[in-house]
Structure 1
Amino acid sequence: MEVNRKTLIKDIVNMGPRAIEILKNFGMGCIECPSSQNESIEDAAAVHGIDVETLIQSLNKIPLREKLKWKIEKKIEDVMKSRYNIK
């Protein structure tokens, strides 16, 4: 997934732990708040006084392989929880 100004926080969070770490390093500690999930990265950056282009560049440097690995691991975890009640 390529991040742009309109990408939602929830979609960036779903990119995995490295994306979350980048957001937090830029000063976005509110990414876990339910109200921030449907906010665009552009709006969130404006609220926090962050240069959105620098943030987007950092997020887009995360290798695709890493993003896909996270999605696969998350999907396996969800299946294990739902089918086998494993937490």
Structure 2
Amino acid sequence: MEVNRRTLIKDIVNMGPRAIEILKNFGMGCIECPSSQNESIEDAAAVHGVDVETLIQSLNKIPLREKIKWKIEKKIEDVMKARYNIK
């Protein structure tokens, strides 16, 4: 997934731990708050005084392989939790 100004925080969070780490390194610690999930990266960057283009460039440097691997691992975890009723 290519991040742009309209990409939602929830979609970036779903890119995996490296994306979350980048957001936090830019001072965006509230990314896990429910109210921020439907906010665009542009709006969130403005609230936090972050240069949105620099942030987008950093997020887009995450290798596609890493994003896909994390999504697969997350899906497996979700299936295991559902199958074995793990909380």
TM category, shorter: over 0.9
Aligned pair count reads 87
Structure-2 separation of matches of 1:31 and 1:67: 18
Residue matched to 2:40 = 40
Structure-1 separation of matches of 2:21 and 2:29: 10
Residue matched to 2:10 = 10
TM-score, reference length from structure 2: 0.98
Gaps of 5+ in 2: none
After TM superposition, give the deviation of residue 85 of structure 1 in Å: 1.8
Residue matched to 1:22 = 22
After TM superposition, give the deviation of residue 84 of structure 1 in Å: 1.3
TM-score, reference length from structure 1: 0.98
**How high is the sequence identity, in percent, across the aligned residues?**
95
After TM superposition, give the deviation of residue 67 of structure 1 in Å: 0.1
For residues 32-64 of structure 1, the C-alpha deviation after alignment (integer angstroms, 9 at most, x for no partner) is 100000000000000000000000000000000
After TM superposition, give the deviation of residue 13 of structure 1 in Å: 0.1
After TM superposition, give the deviation of residue 76 of structure 1 in Å: 0.1
Structure-2 separation of matches of 1:28 and 1:35: 13
Structure-1 separation of matches of 2:43 and 2:11: 14
3-state SS, counterpart of residue 47 of structure 1: helix
Structure-2 separation of matches of 1:28 and 1:34: 14
3-state SS, counterpart of residue 3 of structure 1: coil
Structure-2 separation of matches of 1:23 and 1:41: 10
Gaps of 5+ in 1: none
